[in-house]
Structure 1
Amino acid sequence: MSENPPDGTSSGDPAQSGWQSVIDDMAATADEYRERGWTALELHPGDSVLVDSERRTGLDVVLPGPEYEDLESLTEDCAFVDVDVFRAETANMIYLLVVEADPDSETAVLVPAYYDPGSGQSKLESIRSDGDFRLFCRRLDDDYVEFAHDDVAPFLPEAMRGDG
């Protein structure tokens, strides 16, 4: 993902244009996987927020029911052992495209997400000190699929990456 939008983009809401860039990058990345013969599931969260509670600590993305069911079905048969994280930062927002991959079955799940590092500072500190990053893909009834990562740096703002 590029950190700055190309010249000539609309002057609309920067958060919205940043999110659209993530969605566009997700579609292009999914196409690249498919061209290599992989199954690629693109997810479209309705909300994305950092969480830190007794139940969940990490990044929580809320999915539409049919997409959640597709994800749940894929995770029954796949072991997602690789991850690529593409990150872009603005003054107020961190945008992520997380690609969870199972090389054995040639399956990738693409999860776009975002969060406000300013309002989530204490949650980010918890994540960094715990030393693992959890991505919760859930539906409204609180069922979720969890992806866990022991390298938190790719998910954090640049200012927090070096000294964890």
Structure 2
Amino acid sequence: MTDGISSGSTRDEPDPWLELLADATAIESEFRDAGWETVLVEPDAVTPIDTDERVGIRAAVAQDRYAVVEGLVDRDDVAFSAVDVYYQTDGQTIFVLAVERDDESHHAVLVPLYYDLPDASVVLQTALAEGNLSIYLDPADEPEAEVEAEPRQADESEATDEDRWVVFSHDDPSLFVESVGELEE
């Protein structure tokens, strides 16, 4: 796994998704050993999303993990304002680990993601042009009608009980993909 630098993988290497999950677990252990409180949210599904309401990468996560992240976002003493992004490519697929951090309260949410460049290119091009890429966490086992509520911002604590998704916004989308040129390859 690289820190913001893509690298190809060969057929002799382990499955990139399993490798990403192993890296996420190791990085989570490093944070915990350093005294941080962490949450690893392995998604059930990851999809690029481009609607009037949302543009970014959607990760549907298990309700129990979602509830933990939702609880952190609701806290007045936690504000996720930093991110570490690790990624590697395997053909047209990018595997990403976003480590959302609050350096003051020592909380981290680790979100492994994957997306196929052709499927995500419009979303990623928009993100690069607008200077913002959002990761949307949805509870996987919630009905879709409830998922369409207003977002909880990872840097805000003013969400209401009807909210059913958490948003991590990133003002440097190049952490997730180096350039539009990479999308066109």
Q: TM-score range by the shorter chain?
A: 0.7 to 0.9
| 2:146 matches 1:148 | no
Deviations 1:47-86 (A, max 9, x none): 1111111111011000011010011011112100110000
Q: TM-score, normalised by structure 1?
A: 0.87
In structure 2, the residue corresponding to 1:28 is in which secondary structure?
Answer: helix
Structure 1 position 100, deviation (Å): 0.4
**Residues in 2 aligned to 1:161 and 1:110: alpha-carbon distance in whole angstroms:** 28
Tell me which residue corresponds to 2:180. Answer: 160
Say whether the 8 Å CA contact 2:8–2:91 is kept in structure 1: no
Tell me which residue corresponds to 2:89. Answer: 89
Structure 1 position 6, deviation (Å): 8.4
Shift of the 64–131 alpha-carbon distance from structure 1 to 2, 3 Å rule, reads same
Alignment of 1:38-53 (within 5 A): 38-53=36-51
Say whether the 8 Å CA contact 1:154–1:161 is kept in structure 2: no
Q: Determine which of 55, 58, 63 is the counterpart of 1:57.
A: 55
Shift of the 37–161 alpha-carbon distance from structure 1 to 2, 3 Å rule, reads farther
The list of structure 1 runs, each at least 4 consecutive aligned residues, that deviate by more than 6 angstroms after superposition, is none
**Residues in 1 aligned to 2:43 and 2:83: alpha-carbon distance in whole angstroms:** 18
Structure 1 position 119, deviation (Å): 2.0
Structure 1 position 8, deviation (Å): 5.8
**Number of matched residues?**
155
Alignment of 1:99-110 (within 5 A): 99-110=99-110
**Residues in 2 aligned to 1:134 and 1:52: alpha-carbon distance in whole angstroms:** 11
Tell me which residue corresponds to 2:35. Answer: 37
Structure 1 position 25, deviation (Å): 0.4
2:65 alignment partner AA: E
**Residues in 2 aligned to 1:87 and 1:161: alpha-carbon distance in whole angstroms:** 17
What value does the CA root-mean-square deviation take over the aligned residues? 1.9
Structure 1 position 103, deviation (Å): 1.0
Gaps of 5+ in 2: 148-163
Say whether the 8 Å CA contact 1:50–1:115 is kept in structure 2: yes
Structure 1 position 120, deviation (Å): 2.0
In structure 2, the residue corresponding to 1:37 is in which secondary structure?
Answer: coil
**Residues in 1 aligned to 2:170 and 2:12: alpha-carbon distance in whole angstroms:** 37
Alignment of 1:94-133 (within 5 A): 94-133=94-133
In structure 1, the residue corresponding to 2:119 is in which secondary structure?
Answer: coil
Gaps of 5+ in 1: 11-16
2:167 alignment partner AA: E
Say whether the 8 Å CA contact 2:28–2:40 is kept in structure 1: yes
Q: TM-score, normalised by structure 2?
A: 0.77
